[in-house]
Copies of this chain bind each other. A is one copy, B any other.
């Protein structure tokens, strides 16, 4: 590996001079600059980022906390797409992306130590367990962190306007004549509560009483292929004309469970999802849902993180992004 010393020697100058031309720092004569650059090129010089990081005391790397989950994590288009957009912005700003897991590594889930050891400049918590002590510790630390759907107030967070989105989706059903709407809720988290409240707010505004019997907690996308959700739905003791599923996958998976029970989605019953994954637009009937804006979530998270890293201490904030109603023929006008 050729070092700045090698190229200094070749140019009859000191390593300091070489360093300066690569860092565009100090005053270097145009001649020397060109000479150094030419030599570097010819000798195939590649800077040693490790050495640079050591002296600069930073890594130009950010971590993405991303649990390897059976049914979530990267497998979910929302996270994958968010990560893509996050990456794009971070890389443009000169950061490397390293993936941090919950376990398996030598750090055994001690995220904070892991991040410190790597001298990460910041961390984006994209998909993790916010109940975990290790994650909490990370949010309490002094390193820049931004969380997706984070419940912590110490650090900036980003998420969809879940209350509004859920309210809008409920209204969409009501506009289509539905008043007996079953709500199948995701697992117990802040965003789920927001969504439930959105549903209830929409009902209330339209003078529709909330009925406990039409509410059931089934959890988010799981590998049971919607069986659980469909079962909960079919067990509903009250009549209903529409169902709101916790997410698109569960809704789509329930299509077939419902079909088995002789119920035609978009005909006998109206159905909505949540997230706006692309498959929702491919199935029959097209799924009505609220699309989360993965582009703005990813880019926004990157901007918040860069702000935290480069702008010193940024006040913790909660960024909430609009979701978009995707109409679909899974909802029938009655």
Contact = CB atoms under 8 A, between A and B. Distances in A.
Contacts of A256: 282-284, 286
A49 B115 CA distance: 10
When all copies of this chain in the complex are counted, the total is 2
Contacts of A92: 104-105
Interface in A68-86: 68, 73-75, 77, 80-81, 83-84
Given A73-B84, A88-B68, A283-B283, A97 B99 contact: yes
A183 interface: no
Contact of A282 (B96, B255, B286): B255
Interface stretch (A116-124, A156-164, A201-209): A116-124
Interface stretch (A28-36, A51-59, A312-320): A51-59
Contacts of A113: 46
Given A46-B113, A61-B98, A98-B61, A255 B281 contact: no
A154 interface: no
Interface-centre pick from A54, A61, A282 (highest chain B CB count, 10 A): A282
A318 B74 CA distance: 27
A74 B68 contact: no
Given A84-B75, A91-B101, A225 B282 contact: yes
Contacts of A94: 105-106
A226 B286 CA distance: 14
A98 B73 CA distance: 17
Given A48-B119, A117-B46, A282-B226, A75 B77 contact: yes
A259 interface: yes
Given A46-B113, A46-B116, A54-B50, A281 B68 contact: no
Interface of A: 1, 46-51, 53-54, 59, 61, 68, 73-75, 77, 80-81, 83-84, 87-88, 91-92, 94, 96-99, 101, 104-106, 113, 116-119, 223, 225-226, 249, 252-253, 255-256, 259, 278-279, 281-284, 286
5 contacts: A74-B83, A87-B104, A92-B105, A97-B99, A256-B284
